[in-house]
Amino acid sequence: MYRSGYKYQLAHDYTVFTGIRPIKNIETPYIRLDKGGRIMIKAGYAWDGPSGPVIDTKQNMRASLVHDALYQLMRRKHLKAKKHKDKADQLFKRMCIED
């Protein structure tokens, strides 16, 4: 089912190491972040793609997916924004460069 209000929806589960290590595993319906720093974003997750000065390109879609998922965990108070925001932003930049 397509999620209204979002531009993209993940077709397959995606897992990557983030370097962000919560005190305990975090599990939401679409996001799992384990204590070792590995995030799994589950199929069906919907997101807006890059925002701000960044445009939607093939080179930044993966980074925007992970960044949006991490920011969602911060907005919902699963992660402390003060502690993890810069790490999430640095990860976005690194992934864009990699891609």
In this structure, what token pair is assigned to residue 18? 């983030």
Below-70 pLDDT ranges, the chain: 1-3
Count of C-beta atoms within a 10 Å radius of residue 2? 8
Give pLDDT, residue 55: 81
User: Tens digits of per-residue pLDDT, 43-64?
Assistant: 999 998 888 777 888 889 999 9
Give pLDDT, residue 59: 86
Give pLDDT, residue 22: 96
Give pLDDT, residue 2: 54
Q: Do the beta carbons of residue 66 and residue 15 sit within 8 Å? A: no
> Which residue intervals of the chain are DSSP H helices?
61-75, 81-98
In this structure, what token pair is assigned to residue 77? 């108070």
Give pLDDT, residue 54: 77
Give pLDDT, residue 58: 84
How far, in Å, CA of 22 to CA of 36, rounded? 8
Q: Do the beta carbons of residue 61 and residue 49 sit within 8 Å? A: yes
